[in-house]
Chains A and B, each alone.
Chain A
Amino acid sequence: MADPMRIRAQAAGDKATVRVLMSHEMETGQRKDAGGKTIPAWFIQEVSATHNGKPVLNAQWGPSISKNPFLQFVVRGAKAGDKIAVSWVDNRGDKRTDEATVS
């Protein structure tokens, strides 16, 4: 199981800015190890977010997103106390979901 994500959601007016820091290797499949063998690709493919259980964001990622990916997005109509959940699925089928409360 991968390490937990760090999620911070801050309300400003009628919107909330959500910043997510995921913990993932994001191996591109381009690199070679010391023995000259290609290191297989291992990266997050799908990211989704929900606001109080309602899906708001869906994203598909390629291997060229940086290691330990950062993502920032703005949720409309979110206020303090609301729940924001973010989940990802990588190309090996591993998944992780974490939740944060808007402050």
Chain B
Amino acid sequence: MTTRREMLKRSAGVAGLLAGLGLLPEAAQAAWNTAAFDAKTMAELVKALGVSAPTESKDVTLQGPDIAENGAVVPVSCASSLPGVKRLMILVEKNPSMLCGMFEVSDAIDAAFSTRVKMGQSSNVTAVAVLGDGKVLFAQKEIKVTLGGCGG
């Protein structure tokens, strides 16, 4: 016999499953690039964004600590001195999903951002700049983490 309690438990489970699969309608996600944020490797990310493969460049800078004590809060800054930067991204290679943030650069702001990211473990952190002429440039830095910020 199915009790009410079991029924409730079951329907909650189904709702959770649907949410996990991304089947529940969420208006806020309309503009959010799910494929890019799901990407696990640079190749997948490049494909999701429809841009060419990035090349290393001195014109993109990435600043952060060499060793981060707390992986839950790692301050990083990315910047580019080049004109015509359309988009700046911060990636953490070994996180469950690489892409941390993607900033659309307009004429009214400098292509320079600082924020704080979570890192599960020591990893390469990459700043990627997408230029108006289709060029994709990156700068990379290894940040060592003594205490991970992803697990519980």
- B43 at the A interface (CB under 8 A): no
Extra contacts, 15 of them, besides A55-B106, A60-B101, A64-B150 (Cβ < 8 A), are A26-B118, A28-B118, A31-B151, A31-B152, A54-B108, A56-B106, A57-B106, A59-B104, A60-B33, A61-B101, A65-B117, A73-B112, A92-B26, A92-B28, A93-B28
Interface hits, B103-142 → A, CB 8 Å? 103-110, 112-119
Residues of B within 8 A of A6 (CB): none
Is the CB of A40 closer than 8 A to any CB of chain B? yes
Cβ contact within 8 Å between B109 and A75: yes
Name which of A51, A64, A92, A93 has the most chain B CB atoms within 10 A of its CB: A64
User: Cβ of A74 < 8 Å from any Cβ of B?
Assistant: yes
The 7 closest A-B pairs by CB, nearest first: A72-B114, A74-B110, A66-B116, A58-B104, A31-B152, A56-B108, A93-B28
A66 to B112, CA, bound (A): 18
A75 to B73 CA separation, bound complex (whole angstroms): 25
What would be 21 A-B contacts, judged by CB atoms less than 8 Å apart? A39-B152, A46-B32, A58-B106, A59-B102, A59-B113, A60-B33, A61-B101, A62-B99, A62-B101, A64-B96, A64-B99, A64-B117, A64-B118, A64-B119, A66-B115, A66-B116, A74-B110, A74-B112, A75-B108, A75-B109, A76-B110
